[in-house]
Structures are given as C-alpha cells and as structure tokens.
Structure 1
Amino acid sequence: MTRPSSQTTNRAGGARTTAGRARRTLSQNFLADRQAIDLMIRAADPAGLVLEPGAGAGALTLALAGAGARVIGYEIDPRLARRLAARTRDDPRVEVVHGDFTTAPVPGRPFAVVGNIPYSAILRIERRPEPLVRGRRTYQELVELGFSGLGGSVRASLRTRHRGVDAALAAAGVPRDAAVGHVHPDQWIALWQHLYW
C-alpha cells in the first residue's frame, strides 16, 4: 500500500501546509458557488461603500465592485490579503485591508456590510435582537431629504414631504430649528420611527 504524498495532502488543503493551517485556524471557507454569489449580490443590492469581512480570494469582493459598490475588503490572513491586493491593485473600486474586521474603525459615512463571514468571526460578532431600521430605503430617503437643505433646517426639509414633523421632532428630542449636522444618528432613527410607523 502506498502512502499519499505530502504534495497530494497539501493540495487538498490538509493542515500540513501554511494554507491548510490557516484554513483550520481561521475557519476559512471560500465562496466559490456563482449562484450563491449572485444571490448575495441581489440580496445586498450594493451601492456606495461596502465593507466586506473575510474577503478571502476576492470572489464576492469583485462581484460587489462589479455591481457598483466601493468595497473595502478586510482579510486577516496575510497571504490572502497580499494576493487579493495584488489582484485588485489597479481597480479603484476595491481597497484591501490586512486586518481584523472586528477591530476596524467605523467609516464616517454611510456603509453596508456584506460578506461570507468566517465561522470563527461570527462567534465574536454580537447581533442586535432587532435591526435598527426595517425599511432601509425609506430611512435613507428620510436622511437624504433632511440633508437636502430645503428650507434651511431639518424641520423645513422634512415638512416638504411629511406630516407630523413637529411631533416627530419633539419625540426624537430634536429642536425645531436644529441644523442637520446637529441631529444625532439615534435621533434620525427616532424620526424615522415616528414618521414611518
């Protein structure tokens, strides 16, 4: 009986290679199914800035960018991060960060998170029992309207399309003459809840 060569074992992703050890240690499971990728793209409907934890070899990264997103892919495995950075070097839609997504700073602008998150990372992420907003599009429309500058205040802007703005502002603790830059994210959520529920 012949023993399998280490080359065969290594190619199969066994733990004898650096790549094999990384797959086990980092709980890597690479997304390769094109239908799964397409389903994720349709569900995410990516636009604007998208953060991708566990970018891996870049299958989802490139699909997100191809769908119109500006992607920052986080990859903790230095070998994969280098490969993906080299592969996307000339693509202005993609930035690869070698690092742990869970310790990354929060961007100062709107963003979405889309990813095939490694199981080991999922164990460290605390999910909210309920999403902050259930109507992403209506929430985004509300904030965009508030930032439109129509009328010079949040109140004036929101009153162009909504009734009950004064009661919503009071419930959210927003002064009637507040400038848009002084409305806290929690107050935007409260405004959305009062105007859309």
Structure 2
Amino acid sequence: MTATREDPEGDGLLARAHRLDVAAYRALTARSSPGLDAALAAASQAANFSRPWIATAAVLALAGGSRGRRAALYGIGSVTVASAVVNLALKPLWPRRRPDRTEVPAGRHVPMPSSTSFPSGHSASAFAFATGVGAVIPAAGALLALPAATVAYSRVHTGVHYPGDVLVGSLTGIVLARATTAAFRRLGL
C-alpha cells in the first residue's frame, strides 16, 4: 500500500504525528460519561453553521452599544475569513480521512461530516469568533474561550475529528482572526 496524506506510513514526521494523533484520539474517546456525552454532542451539533457565534454577535450588536457592534463585526468577520480559508483552501490541500469511530459509544455520535478532517472548521470558527470579539472587548473574548474550547473538544469526543485536527483548527482560527482584526483596524472599522 502506498502512503497517502490520509494515512501516512513509515517513520517520517507525518507518520509519527498521525500515530500520536490516533493514540490521543483513542485515549480521549475511551472515556465515557452519559451526561457529559449528551452535553458535548449537543454542543457539537449546536455549533453547526456558526449558530452560537451568530447569536452572540446579534446580542452584542443589539445590546452592546457601538463597542458591541464593533465586537460583533470583528467576530463575524473573523469567522467568515476562518471558515473560508479552512473549508475552501486548507481542507482540499490536506485530504485527511475522518476517524474510525466504531469504538466511540453510539450515544455520543453526531452526523459524520462529508468534508475531510483536517483542520477542524468548527474549532477554527469558534476560536476565530472569540479572538475577533476579544480584540474589541477583551473580557468578552476571554469568556468566549470556554464555549470555543468546549466546541473544539466536542469534535473529538463525538468521534468526528482527531485532536490534531482540532488543535490546528483552533490555532488557525486565532491567527486568521488576528489578521482579520488588524485589517479591520487599518480600514478604520
């Protein structure tokens, strides 16, 4: 069998990183708690299409005055950029298969996405929003880090991502949000 980006073989850096990621995935998905399983599956599903970030931006824009509107713009702008870069540029460049979740309890499964696994778009969007909002209202950004981390971890817990997908997605979201907010500032927004 020839090694591919989906399943790297051998002793190279990618193969070692993949094996480490699979081991971390198995360790994290082996733990089960019915209440936690249900909550994390719900968090994962709720974050589809950036719904919590859009709702939070609406609250900020409607109730937060001019600073809240600016934070909402920065947050949604950051999500838009992160989502576009991850889904339209990075995922096609790295066609990594989704994890085999046969050992993940069925009660915590969410629908398996049809896109490739790397990097996690949910994680990128979650951290992009928190970072974008935090550029305007640092305390709000810090508070949003908790739901962002919850969504990111939920993607591993439900069996649809490896930990490395989530880590790279989260970091990508942060970096792209910083670039987006810097561009907004240069534009006087």
Q: Same fold (TM over 0.5)?
A: no
Higher alpha-carbon Rg: 1
More strand by share: 1
Normalised by the length of structure 1, the TM-score is 0.26
Structure showing greater relative contact order (alpha-carbon pairs closer than 8 Å, 6 or more residues apart): 2
Provide TM-score, normalisation by structure 2.
Answer: 0.26
